[in-house]
Amino acid sequence: MLQLNHKKRIVDACYPSSQWEALALWHDITPVKFGEVTDWGATTVVLAQYQIPEDAAYMLILRTECYATTFVAAAPGFGQFSPPPNNFSYWQYTDVSTATNSYRITNRVPLHLLGDTDEFLFAKGDHNLSLIAELTGAPDGNARVIVTTVYAYLVGALVAGRIGDSESTYFANV
């Protein structure tokens, strides 16, 4: 049901002028859900990664959820969900370059701004898109993991032209 509500939100953002146009937009949207479970350590990690198909015009990232937890029974916060670490993150095309300052599609910002948010972020098709975080160690030294889930949609030019006509594909290297 959640994905149907998201698809409706995307179609509504396109401001269709008729029922026929709304249906055409609806059929131009394909839902995708992906993510990772990553160990929380003092390193640069990939929190989520997806290979956008070459026949998809764009990927529209609508919602990203990220939280930290521990599965060590004796550790404080066992099984509890807590906010993502207060470290930096960014979305980047990692098939073009693995350098940490190349081909970003967002600026380097605190993780909670990208890891627990609703947005309309476009990524070009035929790329490997990754959410990358620069982490410091867990605050109490216990083994913790970061769980990330991304709700995205493969969209064609019809939808992208309506709601993303002023989007930039690449961001500055900051």
Kindly report the pTM of this predicted structure.
0.84
Looking at the domain assignment, is residue 72 inside a domain?
yes
Confidence class for position 1, pLDDT limits 50, 70, 90: very low
- Domain of 90, in residue numbers: 30-163
| pLDDT digit string, tens, across residues 143-156 | 889 999 999 999 98
Residue 115 resides in a domain? yes
Residue 112 counted as domain residue: yes
How many structural domains compose the chain? 1
Is 105 inside any structural domain? Answer: yes
- Domain assignment present for residue 130? The answer is yes
Q: What CATH number should be reported for the domain holding residue 42?
A: 2.60.120
User: Which pLDDT score, from 0 to 100, does residue 167 have?
Assistant: 55
Q: Which of 149, 139, 153, 147 is nearest to 117 (CA)?
A: 149
